[in-house]
Amino acid sequence: MLYFRLVPGLRRVWLQPTLFQATEGRGRKLYCSMAEASPSYEDIQKLSDFILTKTKHRPKIAVICGSGLGGLADIVEDQNAIDYSEIPNFPRSTVPGHKGRMVFGLLAGKTVVCMQGRFHPYEGYPLWKVALPVRVFKLMGIETLFVTNAAGALNSSFNVGDIMLMKDHISMPGLAGDNPLKGHNEDRFGPRFPAVSDAYNSELRQMARDIGKELGFESFMQEGVYVQVGGPSYETIAECKLLRMLGGDAVGMSTVPEVIAARHCGIRVFGMSLVTNMVVMDYDTKGTVNHEEVLETGRRRAQDMQKLVSKMIGQL
């Protein structure tokens, strides 16, 4: 996106979509101001190298913790924590329930890095910046990514507190033409047109089902399709009905840009949603969704999700 500054007293004449000519008397100047460009491969390598200087750990597994689910990082042993504010040119998390730091250490005997706080388009970040940590992870040596989120249930057979294994997604921003891979493609990360039909690793989902059965989670473990919307407003009743008709089982405002970036650069992905509320599907319903409800459900189910993820990581 381009932003053009109008200079008082100057006449502008459009030359191209990216430039305009300003004339004053006999003088002539070209003006062009661009929005923040996505970083180069070398820039991301510098970010990765900087972060690794702050920890002795060299993880192969990363976990991105959603709203109210950051407690997983608190049980990491032998940990080093790095606040996002300490990392040059790194985004900041502004949402309640997102601490805004990376935690390195050991979980179930495996070296991991956990993000306590992710980034969202509604915070004003372009999708490439929402997905930036994933590319940083790639250059740190990450091979497997766990993504978690809080979501509203579109599927009426789900209940608040259910854990939904993500088998697919619908990206509403993507269908509207926005994508974290939009713009110049960096071939060193992946191809121009990556396939995402296998975005969520089937072997990891089967592992989750098996472990969930061992832990006695069958009564509240589901599997389904996650829909990403832009936010920050929650969905209208008509929108929820539409998303359900499209095949969505749960809806949220995150995760998909990270998954797309991960698959683009060859990282395998496991995703799961914590159902924190039932979306409003009836015009006679008086209740509304609120973020405090989301966080409270996250706190109640946090230990179960921690057990599931910990056991999965221990078996990798």
Q: Which residues are annotated as a binding site for phosphate?
A: 67, 98, 118-120, 150, 254
What's the CA gap between 181 and 192, in Å, rounded? 8
- Catalytic annotation on 184? no
CA distances from 208 to 14, 109, 164, 299, 307 (A): 57, 18, 11, 21, 11
Q: Which one of the listed residues 93, 254, 273, 310 is annotated catalytic?
A: 254
Q: Which one of the listed residues 108, 223, 291, 293 is annotated catalytic?
A: 291
Residue tagged 């923040």 (tokens)? 36
What's the CA gap between 31 and 12, in Å, rounded? 9
- The length of the chain in residues reads 316
- Catalytic annotation on 57? no
- Reduce the DSSP state of residue 297 to 3 states and report it: helix
What's the CA gap between 251 and 270, in Å, rounded? 17
Binding site as annotated, residues for a purine D-ribonucleoside:
235, 277
Q: Which one of the listed residues 234, 277, 278, 302 is annotated catalytic?
A: 277
Nearest to 86, CA basis, from 98, 72, 103: 103
CB 301 within 8 A of CB 274: yes
- Catalytic annotation on 185? no
- Catalytic annotation on 150? yes
- Catalytic annotation on 203? no
- Catalytic annotation on 93? no
Binding site as annotated, residues:
67, 98, 118-120, 150, 235, 254, 277
Residue tagged 């033409």 (tokens)? 177
- Catalytic annotation on 291? yes
CB 177 within 8 A of CB 252: no
List beta partners, residue 274: 150, 163
Q: Which one of the listed residues 84, 93, 98, 305 is annotated catalytic?
A: 98
- Catalytic annotation on 277? yes
- Catalytic annotation on 253? yes
Q: Which one of the listed residues 80, 108, 122, 186 is annotated catalytic?
A: 122
- Reduce the DSSP state of residue 170 to 3 states and report it: strand
- Catalytic annotation on 98? yes
Q: Which one of the listed residues 115, 150, 261, 278 is annotated catalytic?
A: 150
Q: Which one of the listed residues 253, 262, 302, 305 is annotated catalytic?
A: 253
Reading the block at residue 281, the tokens are 């599907």
Nearest to 228, CA basis, from 129, 118, 120, 98: 120
Which residues are catalytically annotated? Answer: 67, 98, 120, 122-123, 150, 253-254, 277, 291
